[in-house]
Structure 1
Amino acid sequence: MTDSKTLEIPFWLKLNMTIKEAAAYSNIGINRIEELLKQPKCNFVLYVGNKKLVKRKEFEQDISKNIEL
């Protein structure tokens, strides 16, 4: 017998977020976040295999010091 309950953590408490979660969290579009993650000096991207995750704390810091994206 397997229990299909999953532990759900609010994405604003996670260390890493998916691109969709980052978009909802920041009110920035998915396409724009994907463009930011492709930049060579992006410090808030985390690669897990082929999947890209957003490091929440670094993302917040980067967004807070920018005037324009």
Structure 2
Amino acid sequence: MSTENRLQLPWWQKYTLSLTESAEYFGIGYKKLAKFVDEHKDEKFILWNGTRAQIKRVMFEQYVNEHMDAI
């Protein structure tokens, strides 16, 4: 399937987001988010695709709401 024909879902409908998408979606700097992921490698909201982290959007939203006042 070519890139042009591939269905592009809006970020709020995706199950996982790349770090770039997550940084924009959550309003967190990319470097800060990458450092956070590196420090929390075993959290349930991270899905590893090889060495590339994908953020499980809904689970990360819940984590942020429950555990964070600042990042």
TM-score range normalised by the length of the shorter chain: 0.7 to 0.9
Question: Greater CA radius of gyration, 1 or 2?
Answer: 1
1:68 and 2:38 correspond: no
Residue equivalent to 1:31: 31
Q: CA deviation at 1:43?
A: 2.8
Query: Structure 2: how far apart are the matches of 1:35 and 1:45?
Result: 13
Give the unaligned 5+ runs of structure 2. Answer: none
Residue equivalent to 2:13: 13
Aligned residue-pair number? 68
TM-score (norm 1): 0.84
Q: CA deviation at 1:68?
A: 1.4
Query: Structure 1: how far apart are the matches of 2:5 and 2:64?
Result: 34
Query: Structure 1: how far apart are the matches of 2:45 and 2:19?
Result: 11
Other structure's SS at 1:52 match: strand
Superposition RMSD in Å: 1.7
